[in-house]
């Protein structure tokens, strides 16, 4: 899927995440609640911050 990966994996197989990643995960969850596809979320996350707002605004105006 490649949308969200752990910061590292321990020898015990546990996945470890950073505090910053928790904010990213919350964003992903919120975008899924808005019915955004995984592809759209990937596109969104790969944009700099300012264009993200334009992307969301355009999506809202299209009625997606």
Each residue's pLDDT, cut to its tens digit, for the chain (64 residues) gives 578 899 999 999 999 999 999 988 998 999 899 888 999 899 888 877 767 777 777 777 776 6
CA distance 43 to 60: 16
Q: What is the pLDDT of residue 38?
A: 92
Angle between helices 19-33 and 38-45 (to 10 degrees): 130
Q: Where are the domains of the chain?
A: 8-62
CB distance 20 to 26 below 8 Å: no
Residue with the two structure tokens 């590292």:
8
């Amino acid at each position: 899927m490649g949308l969200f990966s752990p910061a590292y994996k321990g020898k015990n197989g546990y996945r470890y995440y950073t505090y910053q990643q928790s904010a990213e995960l919350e964003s992903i969850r919120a975008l899924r609640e808005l019915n955004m596809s995984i592809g759209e979320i990937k596109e969104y996350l790969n944009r700099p911050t300012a264009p993200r707002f334009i992307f969301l605004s355009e999506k809202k105006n299209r009625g997606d």
